[in-house]
């Protein structure tokens, strides 16, 4: 039997869902329209408090406000002890309360073991599901095993720079004809973004220490408790180390001693947990040999600048690492497969996106000619080896095109213009 308070909780949840803030309309909302009539369940994954529930509300308001739906939030403590066998009674209760509808909106479904059995059964009967969760691999594995070919995953990140500007009501007019003061305003906004990140609640509540509370919550609920990690100190030190070494190549076997973690497999497992909870990303070197990809050092990036600023050591000059992390995040929102590239002469290019044949180098300060020469040299050799005619250097202030032999071009673009162009000219990037 369902606990009596669940019926009351369902009523309260729906009321809160309908009257809640719709927030800034997310870019991903435009993708939803293409899936409305497709027989697909939509899996929405991402960091806690990054806007998944708000995104659900936006979908419901824009596409289903006149047709009816069910809403369930399994983060509610009233659902403690809820099991897969209780879903039928829950479904009956929803019909009793709201009549018959064909659409479900479900928040934080990973809290219920074997939830995918219920979703599969109703999906096969023509029901549509919009499901959120904060553990990327768990959700993909569970839904993929039951709904192979029947679901689509959409990842919700903290605000990209384009959304951040909208959130801050800063104009994004034609960058090519902006006045000096307009460019300065955008540069100031980017520096603010690199400091406070893209999580709305953190942007609005910096003085309350929201970022620290958020990440501590994720650490204890989604990592330490979920995976029954005994060495709390070790994983905290690992997070601090990663946040302090963003964008630097890291060999896992060299972390054992400084972090006092027994073996490499434990380090890999911990980093997997951090990735599943959307705190960090790792990228491999691009190499035809999968084995060489696996044994080469990884590069680590954080989900949001606020994570770096909360856990990382406060270094006097990490502008370059913060910009590189920013460039990675902007690329990762649009591309699943991203690598770093090393030429045969050992020159490194920060990012290579194979499906777009896209090479992107990040460099905060290009004021010195030797710096430009170094970045151009690396890209030129990489372009030769990969048979690519164009590449990009993203910086804070420089903007011009370097023309090389055989018609190759390297476009040096400002970070603000480049980040805005990702959405103004998405076919390019």
Measured distance CA(391)–CA(141) in Å, rounded: 36
- pLDDT higher than 80, residue 100: yes
- pLDDT higher than 90, residue 340: yes
Mean pLDDT in residue range 199-219: 89
CATH entry, 4-156, from 3.30.450.20, 1.10.630.10, 3.40.50.300, 3.40.30.10:
3.40.50.300
How high is the pLDDT of residue 154?
92
Q: How confident is the model at residue 189 (pLDDT cuts 50, 70, 90)?
A: very high
* Tens of pLDDT, residues 301-326: 999 999 999 998 766 578 999 999 99
* Tens of pLDDT, residues 43-92: 999 999 999 999 999 999 999 988 899 999 999 999 988 998 999 999 99
How high is the pLDDT of residue 259?
83
- pLDDT higher than 60, residue 428: no
Q: How confident is the model at residue 356 (pLDDT cuts 50, 70, 90)?
A: very high
* Tens of pLDDT, residues 231-255: 899 999 999 999 999 999 999 988 8
| Residue 254 phi, psi (nearest 5) | -90, 0
How high is the pLDDT of residue 105?
97
Q: How confident is the model at residue 172 (pLDDT cuts 50, 70, 90)?
A: confident
- Ordered strands of the 280-283 beta sheet: 249-250, 298-302, 280-283
How high is the pLDDT of residue 383?
97
How high is the pLDDT of residue 396?
94
How high is the pLDDT of residue 363?
97
* Tens of pLDDT, residues 257-284: 788 887 889 999 999 999 999 999 999 9
Measured distance CA(105)–CA(97) in Å, rounded: 15
Residues 6 or more apart whose CB falls under 8 angstroms from that of 382 comprise: 341, 343, 347, 349, 352, 359, 388, 391
Say what percent of the chain tops pLDDT 90: 70
- pLDDT higher than 70, residue 344: yes
How high is the pLDDT of residue 79?
92
- The top-scoring range by mean pLDDT among 120-129, 182-191, 372-381 is 372-381
DSSP conformation letters of 26-66: PTTHHHHGGGTTSS-EEEEEE-TTSSHHHHHHHHHHHHSTT
How high is the pLDDT of residue 419?
95
Minimum mean pLDDT among 8-12, 87-91, 111-115, 246-250: which range?
111-115
Mean pLDDT in residue range 126-139: 82
Residues 402 and 376: beta-carbon distance below 8 Å: yes
Q: How confident is the model at residue 424 (pLDDT cuts 50, 70, 90)?
A: low
- pLDDT higher than 70, residue 137: no
* Tens of pLDDT, residues 390-405: 999 999 988 999 999 8
Q: In Å, how far are 23, 202, 243, 417, 425 from 167, measured between CA atoms?
A: 9, 13, 26, 18, 20
> How far from the centroid of its chain's Cα atoms is residue 222's Cα?
16
Q: For all residues of the chain together, what is the average pLDDT?
A: 90
How high is the pLDDT of residue 1?
61
Mean pLDDT in residue range 218-230: 91
Domain boundaries, given as residue ranges, for the chain? 4-156
């Amino acid at each position: 039997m369902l606990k009596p308070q669940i019926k009351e909780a369902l009523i309260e949840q729906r009321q809160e869902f309908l009257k809640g803030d719709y927030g800034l309309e997310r870019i991903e909302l435009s993708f939803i329209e293409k899936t409305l009539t497709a027989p697909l369940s939509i899996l929405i994954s991402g960091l806690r408090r990054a806007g998944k529930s708000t995104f659900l509300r936006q979908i419901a308001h824009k596409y289903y406000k006149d047709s009816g739906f069910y809403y369930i939030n399994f983060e509610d403590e009233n659902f403690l002890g809820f099991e897969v066998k209780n879903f039928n009674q829950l479904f009956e209760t929803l019909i009793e309360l709201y009549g018959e509808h064909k659409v479900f909106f479900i928040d934080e479904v990973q809290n219920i073991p074997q939830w995918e059995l219920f979703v599969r059964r109703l999906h096969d009967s023509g029901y549509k599901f919009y499901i959120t969760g904060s553990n990327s691999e768990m959700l993909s594995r569970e839904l993929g095993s039951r709904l192979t070919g029947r679901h689509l995953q959409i990842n919700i990140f903290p605000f990209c720079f384009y959304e951040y500007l909208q959130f801050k009501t800063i104009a994004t007019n034609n960058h090519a004809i902006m006045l000096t003061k307009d460019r300065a305003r955008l540069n100031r906004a980017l520096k603010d973004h690199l400091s406070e990140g893209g999580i709305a609640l953190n942007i609005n509540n910096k003085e309350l220490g929201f970022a620290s509370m958020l990440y501590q919550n994720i650490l204890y609920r989604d990592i330490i408790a979920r995976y029954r990690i005994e060495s709390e100190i070790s994983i905290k030190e690992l997070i601090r180390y990663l946040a302090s070494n963003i964008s630097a190549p890291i060999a896992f076997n060299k972390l054992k001693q400084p972090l006092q973690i027994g073996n490499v497999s434990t380090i890999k497992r911990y980093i997997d947990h951090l990735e599943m909870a959307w705190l960090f990303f790792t990228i491999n070197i691009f190499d035809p040999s999968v084995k060489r990809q696996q044994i080469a050092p990884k590069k680590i990036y954080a989900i949001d600048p606020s994570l770096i600023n909360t856990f990382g050591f406060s270094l006097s000059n990490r502008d370059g690492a913060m910009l590189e992390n920013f460039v990675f995040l902007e690329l990762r929102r649009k591309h699943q497969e991203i690598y770093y590239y090393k030429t045969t002469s050992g020159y490194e290019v920060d990012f290579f996106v194979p499906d777009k044949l896209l090479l992107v180098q990040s460099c905060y300060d290009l004021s010195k000619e030797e710096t430009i020469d170094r970045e151009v040299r690396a890209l030129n050799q990489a372009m030769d080896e990969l048979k690519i005619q164009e590449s990009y250097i993203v910086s804070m202030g420089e903007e011009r095109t370097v023309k090389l032999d055989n018609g190759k071009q390297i476009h040096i673009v400002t970070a603000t213009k480049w980040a805005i162009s990702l959405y103004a000219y998405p076919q390019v990037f």
